[in-house]
């Protein structure tokens, strides 16, 4: 099956897009971006820490009940 003009054009456009993305990644910004935690992320981290602490307290309590 021979490639048609449309197929050739699509392949050339795809190749150009891939090369453009590669060049953009290669010559893009080399400056590191400092991303600070958003208030939502801080709140989520506090919730997760509280849950871990509560689970530890429950485990300690259950261990204490078993030893008596």
Rounded to whole angstroms, the Cα distance separating 26 from 22 reads: 6
Whether 45 and 37 have beta carbons less than 8 Å apart is answered as yes
Domain ranges of the chain: 40-68
Q: Is the pLDDT of residue 33 over 70?
A: yes
pTM over 0.85: no
- The mean per-residue pLDDT over the stretch 31-42 comes to 76
pLDDT over 90, % of the chain: 47
Task: Say which residues have a Cβ less than 8 Å from residue 41's Cβ, sequence separation at least 6.
Answer: none
pLDDT tens for each residue of 41-68: 788 889 999 999 999 999 999 988 776 5
Rounded to whole angstroms, the Cα distance separating 9 from 3 reads: 10
């Amino acid at each position: 099956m021979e490639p048609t003009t449309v197929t050739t054009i699509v392949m050339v456009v795809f190749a150009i897009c891939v090369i453009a993305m590669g060049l953009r990644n290669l010559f893009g910004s080399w400056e590191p971006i400092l991303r600070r935690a958003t208030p939502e992320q801080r709140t989520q981290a506090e919730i997760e820490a509280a849950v871990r602490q509560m689970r530890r307290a429950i485990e300690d309590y259950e261990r204490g009940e078993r030893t008596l």
